[in-house]
């Protein structure tokens, strides 16, 4: 088993062969992947060395100290946090070799074609259809997806589509990788309450997906999607941030810098939210440590739920603290950002943007059900559609 000392030796050898000061950024990242130092817990040949996940910090510290470039993980978060573990878990060897290297280096951006206008909170009710072409073996996909981050910059998408409407809704779904540059894929901006459009609608019209781009077995897509969804919630709820690095930071700074805004009531509420933010930050750290030991569990759903509630409470308090100044928001410029900036810009923007936190990555209502049933072990809600064919469900 590779230990920390061996990883330091390998990292220093990489730096010696490819000095960051004189090596092209993309070339350095490719060399790092090929050396197995991208994600050390992945298998050899796929950017890793089969080492314990916890040792990634050893590599990262050496590279940071040397001023080596990173792969801008925020820009490619969907690929790293959701597509990669799914491809690793369910992809063929050819798929792993094809997709993982350009995904990690950021040469190819990924998006997630899951949510639909008629199936968001109840994702398993999705209606996008994939029908097998008997002659070519390709899948022909038709449907509409919504709330798709990064679709306007993505080369690839992870896609779930219904392949057998005669089965109940959680069955008869199949998981694919979709080429976003293929004919029939149309991306339209979805403008939000903030004025910008980081999300998209994606229309799929007779899009041909080769069977070689199927992940997992036909009809087993819901099982594959669970891996993606659990990793998604860990990515959102378990982000690593320093103390006061999230929404609480600007509010605490305003409190310190502007004593004229203070009241006793606001002090009590700020104190409680500051403690809540610190609890959330440390709980996220524990979640990441659990992740080191294995696959993410349903605890990630609880973290994502808490993240949404806390952001909305803090941004609401900030607007109250700033009074009329907190209500100012007059920049409705249509932007197409590549990154979600929860904390940047002014208080009014933060207040409006935080409303989306309870929808994106699974609605709070769905996550409450997951926490109730899978974490607390409470009885499941009655489900009248459990054994009913999808085509017979009321819509």
CA distance 360 to 149: 10
Q: C-alpha distances in angstroms, 236 versus 113, 118, 209, 222, 385?
A: 17, 24, 29, 21, 30
CA distance 297 to 234: 9
Q: C-alpha distances in angstroms, 322 versus 236, 242, 261, 263, 355?
A: 28, 24, 7, 12, 19
Q: What are phi and psi of 163, to 5 degrees?
A: -115, -10
CA distance 130 to 109: 23
Active site residue 232: yes
Longest dimension (CA), the chain: 74
CA distance 204 to 116: 12
State the catalytic residue, choosing from 116, 232, 299, 313. 232
**CA nearest to 76, candidates 127, 112, 120, 36:** 112
Q: What are the residue numbers of the active site?
A: 232
């Amino acid at each position: 088993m590779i230990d920390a000392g061996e990883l330091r030796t390998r990292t220093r050898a990489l730096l010696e062969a490819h000095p960051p000061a004189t090596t092209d950024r993309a070339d350095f990242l490719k060399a790092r992947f090929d050396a197995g130092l991208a994600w050390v817990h992945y298998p050899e040949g796929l950017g890793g060395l089969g080492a314990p996940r916890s040792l990634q910090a050893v590599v990262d510290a050496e590279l940071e100290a040397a001023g080596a470039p990173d792969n801008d993980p925020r820009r490619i978060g969907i690929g790293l946090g959701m597509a990669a573990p799914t491809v690793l878990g369910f992809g063929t060897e050819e798929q792993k070799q094809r997709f993982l290297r350009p995904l990690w280096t950021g040469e190819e951006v990924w998006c997630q074609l899951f949510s639909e206008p008629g199936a968001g909170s109840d994702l398993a009710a999705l209606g996008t259809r994939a029908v097998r072409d008997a002659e070519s073996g390709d899948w022909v996909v038709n449907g509409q997806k919504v709330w798709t981050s990064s679709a306007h910059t993505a080369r690839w998408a992870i896609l779930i589509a219904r392949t057998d409407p005669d089965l109940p809704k959680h069955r008869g779904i199949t998981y694919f990788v979709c080429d976003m540059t293929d004919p029939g894929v149309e991306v339209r901006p979805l403008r939000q309450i903030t004025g910008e459009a980081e999300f998209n609608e994606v229309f799929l019209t007779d899009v041909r997906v080769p069977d070689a781009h199927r992940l997992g077995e036909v009809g087993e897509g819901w099982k594959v999607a669970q891996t993606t969804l659990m990793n998604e919630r860990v990515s959102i709820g378990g982000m690593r941030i320093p103390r006061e690095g999230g929404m609480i930071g600007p509010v605490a700074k305003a409190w310190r810098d502007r004593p004229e805004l203070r009241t006793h009531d606001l002090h009590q509420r700020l104190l409680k939210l500051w403690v809540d933010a610190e609890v959330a930050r440390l709980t996220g750290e524990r979640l990441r440590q659990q992740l080191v030991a294995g696959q993410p569990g349903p605890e990630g759903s609880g973290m994502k739920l808490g993240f949404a509630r806390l952001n909305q409470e803090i941004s609401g308090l900030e607007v109250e603290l700033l009074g009329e100044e907190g209500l100012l928001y007059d920049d409705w410029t249509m932007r197409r950002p590549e990154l979600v900036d929860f904390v940047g810009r002014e208080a009014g923007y933060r207040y409006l943007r935080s409303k989306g936190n309870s929808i994106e990555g699974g609605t709070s209502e769905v996550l409450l059900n997951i926490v109730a049933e899978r974490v607390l072990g409470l009885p499941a809600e009655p489900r009248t559609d459990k054994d009913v064919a999808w085509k017979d469900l009321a819509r």
